[in-house]
Amino acid sequence: MTLPRLRVPEAQAADPLSTFVPRPTALWLEIGFGGGEHAQALAEAHSDAGLIACEVFENGLCSLLSRLVPEGAEATAPLPANLRIWDQDARLLLRALPAACLDRVFLMFPDPWPKARHVKRRFVHPAQTALLARALKPGGVWRVASDDPTYQAWVAEVMAAQDLFEVTAAATARPEGWPPTRYESKAQRAGRMPLYWTFVRSSIASSPSPA
């Protein structure tokens, strides 16, 4: 009963700020929130920003919702005013959002889809990059983190070949203001080194149409 109270109605995707009361001053999007700890930390630390957290897998949804409300109070417990959930494919939301509406986007430790035949499923992909760029404001920030060497190399290759975002070198330590995630901790315990990118949306003049 908690999810319907937080879900972004499809009819409101074209005016996403209207789903928040009070109306926030900025709109953020997290794609694939996993266990939800990163989304929860963002919402708690930035009450002025409305965060839409996307996740299609039931385990991740249950993980976040169980931390937001105590068992037995799913229908009545107060919920974060600045947090909403999209439980469908994030690409559907990105196509429905108005252009240049997002201030920040987060992609934390996505599935690397390591096999060559699965490359098109990676969110960092020329098609998705253009879709995301359309929804980000000029100067908007896209944060990406990964501990997988194949995915790290892929991110560097894809982002070097586009002109929709300004590209800087990845950081090898989590930058200040980035909440930790359990995926990051797991990677570090296994001896894998995460990389952290901050991509800045360039001029809106090159903004593509939604696919």
> CATH number of the domain that 101 lies in?
3.40.50.150
Tokens of 108: 């934390």
Given the residues 111, 147, 148, 163, the one annotated as active site: 111
Distance of alpha carbon 33 from alpha carbon 56, whole angstroms: 9
Residue 20's domain comprises 3-206
Q: Is there a domain that residue 211 lies in?
A: no
E strand map for 49-150: 49-54, 83-86, 102-108, 136-146
Query: What is the tally of structural domains in the chain?
Result: 1
The DSSP string of 130-162 is: HHHHHHEEEEEEEEEEE--HHHHHHHHHHHHT-
Q: How confident is the model at residue 63, as a pLDDT?
A: 94
Q: What pTM did the predictor assign?
A: 0.92
Q: Is there a domain that residue 164 lies in?
A: yes
Q: How far is CA 31 from the centre of its chain?
A: 3
Q: Which stretches of the chain drop beneath a pLDDT of 70?
A: 113-118, 204-211
Mean model confidence pLDDT for the chain: 91
Amino acid letter for position 152: Q
What would the pLDDT profile of 166-205 be if each residue is shown by its tens digit? Answer: 999 999 999 999 999 988 999 999 999 999 999 999 975 4
111 as an active site residue: the answer is yes
Exposure string over 54-70, b if 16+ CB within 10 A, otherwise e:
bbeeeebbebbbeebbe
Q: Is there a domain that residue 37 lies in?
A: yes
